[in-house]
Amino acid sequence: MESLDLRVLGDALAWRTAGHAVTLVTVVQTWGSAPRPPGALLAVRDDGVVSGSVSGGCVEDDLIARTKTSLAPGGVSTPALAKPALIAYGVTKEEATRFGLPCGGTLRLVQEPLLDTAWITELLARTAAHELVARNLTLATGAVVLADAVRGQPLQFDGTTLTTVFGPQWRLLLIGAGQLSQAVAQIALMLDFEVLVCDPREEYAAMLVAGVKGIRRVEGMPDDVVRELLPDAHTAIVALTHDPKLDDMALLEALKSSAFYVGALGSRRNQEVRKQRLAEHFDLSAEELSRLHGPVGLALGAKTPAEIAVSIVAEIVQVKNAVVVAAAALTTAGGGSLALF
C-alpha cells in the first residue's frame, strides 16, 4: 500500500501519459474547521475524473467545473489556466454555506496545470526508496524543483513559492514479524509511515516482507536495531513478538530514546510483570516505564489480528496528533500561524 497523495500523483502521471489534460490542486492554508489538511492533493482529468480530495467533497464539484472549462483534451491548457493560480473558498459566510464548509471553514488552494511530468516520475522513484522529497513550485512560472527534505519539515507557502514534502515523515519500527505485524504494517503504510520490521527469526521476517509491499526489514537483534536507529520524536516502536528475550531488550532501548510512542503486546498482568522485570534487571526509572503503552492499542474490544491492528495504529495516531497539536500550539502562542501546519 502507498501514501494517498502519492497515489494521486501516480494517477495524474498515468492520465497525462494516456494523453489527458490534468490539473493538480493543493491545499495550502486552512482556517476554521477544514476537512482536509494543508498539503492534501486533488488531481482532476479533463473529463472530470478525479483522484484524491481537498475538502472531503465540499468544493470538488466546483473544481471539476473549473478544470473542464480551463483544460482542453490532449494536455493543452487554455488561457484560463496557463499557470498556477490561487483559489479561496469560504471567504464569506454565504460562500461557506454554499459549498458546505463546516463551521465557517476557509480553504486556500493552488491550482496548477500538469504540463511537465518528469518531476512526478523522479519523486515517485525517490519516495519508493524511502527518501523525503521537497517539491518547490514557483507560481509565477509553474516551474517545479525537487530537493531533499528533512523529517518534520512543514508545508511552506509565502505567496510566490509553495513547498510540499512527500515521503514518510513518520517511522514505525515493529519488533516481530507475525500475522499481527502484517496487519499493522498495512494500515501504517496507508497513513504515510515508513514501516521497518526487525525479527531475527528468518522465517517470520521473510513472510512479512513478502506479504506487505513497501516495508523494509532491518537485520540484527532488536536492541541493537533500536539503538542504531536513533529513534527521534517522529518514531514509534511496537514490540509484538510475545517473546521477552526479543521484546524486553528492544523496549529497554526504546524507553530510553526520544521515540514519541513505545508499545508492547500482552495482557495487563503480563505488562505488570514486564515492568517489574525491566525495573529490577535493567534499571529503568518509573518515569521511563510510564512511557510504555501496554496493553498496546486503544480499548476497542478487538479480537482478530485486523481489529487489534486497528486499535494499535489508532493509539499511535492519537499520540502522534497530540504531539503535533502541542507543537503547533506553541508556534501559535509565539505568533505563528497554525494554518501552515
User: Among 114, 139, 166, where does a domain finish?
Assistant: 166
The answer on 14 and 160 residing in a single domain is yes
Beta strands in 131-215 (DSSP E): 133-138, 144-148, 156-157, 161-166, 170-175, 193-198
- What SS3 state is found at 130? coil
36: pLDDT strictly greater than 80: no
The answer on 204 and 159 residing in a single domain is no
Could you tell me if residue 338 is inside a domain? Answer: no
The answer on 193 and 142 residing in a single domain is no
The answer on 174 and 156 residing in a single domain is no
Are 197 and 215 a contacting pair, CB within 8 Å? yes
Q: Report pLDDT digits (tens) over 266-307.
A: 888 888 888 888 887 777 888 988 899 988 999 999 889 999
Q: Report pLDDT digits (tens) over 299-329.
A: 999 889 999 999 999 999 999 988 655 555 5
The answer on 177 and 158 residing in a single domain is no
The answer on 277 and 157 residing in a single domain is no
Residues 6+ apart with CB under 8 A from 202: none
Domain membership of residue 41 as a residue range: 4-166
The answer on 176 and 97 residing in a single domain is no
The answer on 62 and 119 residing in a single domain is yes
The answer on 179 and 150 residing in a single domain is no
Cα–Cα distance between 160 and 286 in angstroms, integer? 50
- Helix, strand, coil % in the chain, rounded to nearest 5: 40, 25, 35
Treating both helix axes as pointing N-terminal to C-terminal, what angle do 305-333 and 179-190 enclose, rounded to 10 degrees? Answer: 40
Could you tell me if residue 253 is inside a domain? Answer: yes
Cα–Cα distance between 219 and 221 in angstroms, integer? 7
| Mean pLDDT of the residues in the chain | 83
Grid coordinates of 103? 463551521
The answer on 153 and 11 residing in a single domain is yes
Q: What is the CATH number of the domain that holds 225?
A: 3.40.50.720
Q: Give how many domains the chain has, as a whole number.
A: 2
Q: Report residue 100's pLDDT band, with 50, 70 and 90 as the boundaries.
A: low
- pTM of the predicted structure, to 2 decimals: 0.69
The answer on 51 and 15 residing in a single domain is yes
